[in-house]
Amino acid sequence: MKGNELKPHIGIFGRRNYGKSTLINVITGQNIAIVSDTAGTTTDPVKKTMEIKGVGPVVWIDTAGVDDEGDLGLLRIQKTNEVLRHVDLALIVFSANTFGKPEEDLINACTEIKIPYILVYSKTDIFPPAYSMIEEIEKQYSTTVLKVSQHNSNAQNLLLDAIRSALPETAYTPKSLLGDVVNAGDTIVLVTPIDSSAPEGRMILPQVQTIRDILDNECIAIVCKETHLEQQLKQMATPPALVVTDSQVFKYVSDIVPAHIPLTSFSIVLAHAKGLFYEYIEGTPTLDSLHDGDSILMLESCTHKASCEDIGRVKLPNLIRKYSGKEITFDHVSGLTNLDKPITNYRMVIQCGGCVVTPKQLANRLQVALNEGIPVSNYGLAIAYMTGIFNRAIQVFKNKLKNKL
């Protein structure tokens, strides 16, 4: 069930006609990117999935040149810069003994958003590198420049070894959703409402991911609708170690589940696993200080057709208006799309669980708000807060927060 979005993303960046597309073909061992002597052949990001031994599947992204020209070229550069915020590792390619502002800007951008990078000097067979320049770059950036050619039989191994060393282990070793709060043999009850917003004939991804994680942790998963929860609890010989519910029936489920049984939601489980959990906890009480005319940005990681029971577009906004008693406006942005308005337009940002994005993508998405001092929250945490069960919903994770809260 793990889609391309959850695999580590590795982007290849650099000027036009400097060998980016050739490099991705060398790495993958396939002709997946068009190679031409004409500058600007790659216009839009090109993605390709590949297995790397010791890492697993990764997504390669070949991008347009950062020195593109004209109005269309500027749009391509903008798209390339967007990709940079979505990757876990950047390969910055240069050649022809030319290293200047475009490369420096890429390095500075990686440093600013804390993305590791590898400097690659390409086309060594056509443009033999000036070693004095290479030494100066290595000294300035405290790194080693890889020197490769598509005709070098060892180029692929050289690049893959460097990638394995530079790629953060957290990018390809996903954190267990519940591994630090459950024990082998525990029974976990999952409450999954089925309404018009549920996908036809299947479970939603957070539910599937949680079930798999429970099984991976040698626990037992029991799944039921909220209407059968009371019956299910009564017939269990021993109480479950944890109940995880869909956030939209939080209050209903909380009234049924005895206080001594830990309770949380799928969205909160994902928020805890994806990172920035403390920032969510700190930002959620902003719901108490909203004013008429405030705007809230709702971030959805996936794209889907909204229904009248959509949690992020209908139910949660209605709940916030009712809770605050204020006239609040909401903007919704799906996927990893750029914002249409400055982030400073918003009083707070509320993020979905993020089941289809990597932790790095989610963190970079929210860091823009955090840098401006704008509070962030999460669907599940916001609902728990407004229904009076916030402390109960995060209690199961309190041991991980005790040093901060």
Which domains does the chain possess? Answer: 4-172 (3.40.50.300), 174-405 (3.40.50.11410)
Residue 309's pLDDT is what? 61
Which of 263, 242, 223, 235 lies closest to 183, judged by CA? 242
Q: Are 240 and 366 in contact (CB under 8 A)?
A: no
Q: Residue 171 in 3-state DSSP?
A: helix
Point out the residues of the chain with pLDDT beneath 50.
Answer: 1-4, 33-43, 306-308
Sheet holding 9-14, edge to edge: 46-52, 56-62, 9-14, 89-94, 117-121, 146-147
Six-digit token pair at 106? 């890429």
Angle between the N-to-C axes of helices 266-274 and 359-371, in degrees from 0 to 180, rounded to the nearest 10: 80
Q: Tokens for 136?
A: 């100066």
Predicted pLDDT of residue 134: 96
Confidence at residue 391, expressed as pLDDT on a 0 to 100 scale: 95
What pLDDT is stored for residue 199 in this prediction? 66
**Interior CA angle at 148 toward 55 and 122, to 5°?**
110
74-77-79 Cα angle (round to 5): 115
pLDDT digits over 203-261, tens only? Answer: 888 899 999 999 999 999 999 999 999 999 999 999 999 999 999 899 999 999 999 99
d(CA 220, CA 226): 18
Structure tokens, 354: 């993020």
Please report which helix (H) or strand (E) contains residue 47, including its range: strand 46-52
**pLDDT (0 to 100) of residue 62:** 87
Write down the pLDDT at residue 3.
Answer: 41
**What is the dihedral sign for C-alpha 283, 286, 287, 292?**
negative
pTM above threshold 0.85:
no
Q: What is the pLDDT of residue 196?
A: 62
Beta-sheet pairing, 117-121 with 89-94: parallel
